C-alpha cells in the first residue's frame, strides 16, 4: 500500500531535521552564507575584470581584455537593425512569429510570463519525491519539448534574415525588381530602388515578397499602379504626416535628388503590369 503523500512528506521532513541534528548544518544560515560569499566573489571578479579592461586600454587603443569603445552611439540612425545577444534569439524569434499587432503582447509578455510562472510554481504543483527519470514521463517529455523548442527558436533566430538593404543589394535583388517591374534601364528608378533598400523602408514595407509588414504599412509592390505621379510620391515621402501618416518619419533629409529617385522608383512599381 502506498503511503499518502502528505504523510510521506512529513516523514521526509522529520528525517531531514534528524539528519541535520546528527551530522549536518541547517540550510539557513550555513548554505545561504556560502551562496552569498560565492556571489560576492563572482561580482568582485567581474568588477576586477572591468577595471583591468578599463585601465589597460588607452584612449583609442585596445587593452589586454579587448578593444576600447568603437563608434559612438548614434541615436538618430534609422538603418540600424537591432539584434539581441545569442541567448535571447529564442525570444527574438518568438516575437517574429507573433508579428501581427494584436498578438505581439502574446509573444513579448504572454507566453514568457506563463512559462516563468509555471517554472516558479513548479515546487508547489510537482510534489512527488520520485527522482528516477523513467518514472517521470510527463516531466521528462515536458523538459525535452522545452529544450527542443528553445533550440529550434534559437536556431531560427540566429539564421533569421533581416530584410536589410545590404543583403538585398548583395543578392542582386534590385536587378530582379527592375526586371519584373519593367524599369530596367531607367537608372533613376534603379538608384531609387537601392535607396529604398538602404533607407530602412523595408523594416515596415513589403516589396515583392521581401521585407517586413510592420505597423500596418501596406505592401508597395504595385504602389505606382494608382498613377499618382512622381511629384505625389516625393511630397509623400518628404512629409508623410500631411497625408495623415504619423507612423512613417519624414525622409526630407535625404535631399531633393534622392527623393526624386525614390519617387521615380515608387511610381515605376506597378506590380509587373
How do the residues of the chain divide into helix, strand and coil, expressed in percent and rounded to 5?
A: 65, 5, 35
Phi, psi of 170 (to 5 degrees): -65, -35
Q: Give the CA dihedral 217, 218, 220, 222, nearest 10 degrees.
A: -170
Q: Give backbone dihedrals phi and psi of 66, rounded to 5 degrees, phi first.
A: 115, 175
Nearer to ligand HEC, 94 or 217 (CB): 217
Task: Give min distance, CB of 78 to ligand HEC, in A.
Answer: 7
Task: Provide the minimum distance between the beta carbon of 214 and ligand HEC in the complex, in angstroms, as a whole number.
Answer: 6
Cell triple for residue 138? 510527463
Q: Is the dihedral of CA 42, 43, 46, 48 positive or negative?
A: negative
How many residues are there in the chain? Answer: 273
> Which residues of this protein are in contact with ligand HEC, per CB under 6 A?
196, 199-201, 203-205, 214-218, 223, 233, 236-237, 244-245, 247-248, 251, 262, 266
Task: Write the Ramachandran bin of 100: left for phi over 0, alpha for psi from -120 to 50, otherwise beta.
Answer: beta
Nearest of 261, 72, 82, 253 to residue 174 by alpha carbon: 261
Residue 156 vs 228, nearer CB to ligand HEC: 228
CA–CA separation, 235 vs 233, rounded Å? 5
The residues, ordered by sequence, that sit 6+ positions from 20 with a Cβ below 8 Å of its Cβ are 26
Nearer to ligand HEC, 81 or 152 (CB): 81
Residue 9 vs 199, nearer CB to ligand HEC: 199
Q: Residue 137 or 216: which CB sits closer to ligand HEC?
A: 216
Residue 164 vs 248, nearer CB to ligand HEC: 248
Amino acid at each position: 500500500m502506498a503511503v499518502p503523500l502528505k504523510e510521506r512528506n512529513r516523514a521526509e521532513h522529520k528525517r531531514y531535521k534528524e539528519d541535520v541534528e546528527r551530522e549536518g548544518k541547517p540550510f539557513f544560515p550555513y548554505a545561504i552564507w556560502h551562496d552569498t560569499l560565492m556571489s560576492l566573489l563572482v561580482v568582485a571578479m567581474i568588477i576586477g575584470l572591468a577595471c583591468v579592461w578599463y585601465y589597460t586600454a588607452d584612449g583609442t587603443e585596445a587593452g589586454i581584455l579587448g578593444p576600447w569603445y568603437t563608434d559612438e552611439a548614434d541615436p538618430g540612425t534609422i538603418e540600424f537593425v537591432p539584434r539581441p545577444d545569442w541567448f535571447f534569439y529564442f525570444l527574438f524569434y518568438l516575437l517574429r512569429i507573433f508579428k501581427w499587432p494584436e498578438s505581439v503582447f502574446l509573444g513579448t509578455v504572454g507566453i514568457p510570463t506563463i512559462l516563468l510562472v509555471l517554472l516558479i510554481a513548479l515546487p508547489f504543483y510537482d510534489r512527488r519525491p520520485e527522482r528516477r527519470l523513467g518514472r517521470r514521463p510527463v516531466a521528462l517529455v515536458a523538459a525535452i519539448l522545452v529544450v527542443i523548442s528553445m533550440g529550434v527558436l534559437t536556431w531560427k533566430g540566429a539564421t533569421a534574415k533581416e530584410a536589410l538593404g545590404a543583403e538585398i543589394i548583395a543578392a542582386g535583388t534590385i536587378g530582379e525588381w527592375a526586371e519584373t517591374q519593367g524599369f530596367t534601364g531607367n537608372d533613376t528608378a534603379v538608384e531609387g530602388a537601392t535607396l529604398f533598400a538602404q533607407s530602412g523602408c523595408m523594416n515596415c514595407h513589403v516589396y515583392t515578397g521581401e521585407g517586413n509588414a510592420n505597423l500596418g504599412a501596406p505592401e508597395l509592390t504595385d504602389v505606382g499602379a494608382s498613377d499618382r505621379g512622381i511629384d505625389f510620391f516625393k511630397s509623400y515621402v518628404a512629409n508623410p504626416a500631411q497625408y495623415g501618416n504619423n507612423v512613417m518619419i519624414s525622409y526630407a533629409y535625404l535631399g531633393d535628388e534622392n527623393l526624386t529617385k525614390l519617387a521615380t522608383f515608387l511610381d515605376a512599381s506597378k506590380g509587373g503590369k
